[in-house]
Amino acid sequence: MTLDAMFCQRAPDRRQHSFMYNKPGGHPFVGGAGFEVNYEDRGLLKAALFMRRNAAPHLGSLSVSHVQRVLTDFISNNFWIIGNEAWDGCLLGAGQTRDAPFSEFVSTTTKQRLAETIAVSDLFVEPRQLVAFPLVTVGVEEEFECPTFFFVKPDGLKLSRVPPGYNDADLQSDSFPPFGRWDGIRRAPLSWLGVWAGTPEVAKRHRAAILGAVALLPHPMERYLFSGRTLFGGLCTFAGSLSMTSGDPHTPALSEDVVIGKTDHGWLAVLAAKLVSPTKVDKRQMRALEYFYRAWVPDTTRRFPTLFGALDAIYGDAGKATQSVIEAVGPVMGFAYDYDRLKLLLGLRASVIHGGAPNVYESSDYHKYYERYEEDATRDLELIVARCLQTVIFGSAMRERSHTHAALIKQHTGRDI
């Protein structure tokens, strides 16, 4: 299919790709050759869409344009397989080139060899690399490790946890970046989240689901209680070489750190299984955790519409979205959240998502909800989504934290929270 999109001649609907190539092990500029392939836009698009649907799973998490680049890179890196036939097929003599797809003059034997090469490449065999995320507001009391991810202490990024090929001099675990040979600024993480995935993009999605689950742990009054402390983010990739990327912090600036302990290993094991599960229901649940992670931000007006996405991911029915959510949420939240209350709350979705009110506080339904129930609709939605995700995804395996200062509040106010 890719060969169908490859041409020797340039044309308005073809993109040029020039490169040097040589046999494996050879230097491209020593005894190598240069070539230009012109990819027909429609044909390359067709090949990329086929690969996203049928090749290695991680391609489905990439944009179509990214998959197109991966395909063209594969061709240039392995062009030596078809190089001789490409020269013979393209050149007509007197500086003229044939205007025909490569599929017409590349032999069946060579096509088979190219197919065998792509079948064992990262395009069809899911690659496995480690991406390490430094965490500043999540501590680890008891480390957790599974084949997909791990939570470890600052000094827990050891040789035994990274891919083969590194030595002690390569690592300095208790700093970010965790590289022994680093002359730049170093910062101290509180813990590490390590994710095994095919690409950094897939690792980031897994990170979102994992930290979305972590966001379910704090007491409701502390989940969105933030401080002004300075955080740092970024990631490190272990994939044959060492690389570091700066970036935003992976959690908001929580007033109280979340600590992962032995009691969390039960729900972490549930999460580990669902994270790689091929079933539709588990994929939707992981998508819901990604939405919940995106909503873990200080700005309530940004948080509110994203929380609806989390609810729809686990409960939504395309034919009767609001009705299906109401029917599912009611039993989880109890009699206080009856049909009329949930209907009014979910009615705010139309305002904030479909253009009725960019700011939830400007919606007339927000005012109506406060008048009728004397509660803030945004706070109710935060509570509902958290309880539903805890119940549906983790059941009894996850236990929400008590308020950090519950005893002190009880002592001074007499109230349990």
- Mean model confidence pLDDT for the chain: 88
| Spatial distance between the Cα atoms of 101 and 7, rounded to a whole number of angstroms | 5
Q: In this structure, what token pair is assigned to residue 379?
A: 């706070």
CA-based nearest residue to 229, from 199, 249, 214:
249
Q: What are the backbone dihedrals phi and psi of residue 353, each rounded to the nearest 5 degrees, phi first?
A: -100, -35
> Of 285, 327, 338, which is closest to residue 310 (Cα–Cα)?
285
- Alpha helical stretches, state H, 133-264: 200-214, 220-223
CB 138 within 8 A of CB 178: no
Per-residue pLDDT of the chain (417 residues; tens, 9 = 90+): 899 999 988 999 999 999 988 876 555 444 567 889 999 999 999 999 999 999 888 888 788 999 999 999 999 999 999 988 888 888 876 567 788 899 999 999 999 999 999 998 888 887 788 999 999 999 999 999 999 999 999 999 999 898 888 888 889 999 999 998 888 899 999 999 999 998 888 899 999 999 999 999 999 999 999 998 999 999 999 987 888 999 999 999 999 999 999 999 999 999 999 998 989 999 999 999 999 999 999 988 888 889 988 988 988 664 456 777 888 888 898 888 999 999 998 888 877 776 666 788 888 888 999 999 999 999 999 999 999 999 999 999 998 888 888 778 777 777 777
* Spacing of C-alpha 344 from chain mean position: 33
* β-bridge partners, 101: 7
Helices (H), 354-415: 364-373, 377-389, 406-413
Nearest to 137 by CA among 208, 211, 202, 210: 211
Question: Which ranges constitute the DSSP H helices of 198-333?
Answer: 200-214, 220-223, 265-275, 280-294, 300-315, 321-333
CB-based burial of residue 340 (10 Å sphere; 0-12 exposed, 13-18 middle, 19+ buried)?
exposed
As given in the structure block, the two tokens for residue 128 are 């496995």
- Residue 380, φ and ψ in degrees, nearest 5: -65, -40
Predicted local distance difference test score (pLDDT) of residue 356: 63
* 3-state DSSP assignment of residue 374: coil
DSSP β-bridge partners for residue 258 = 138
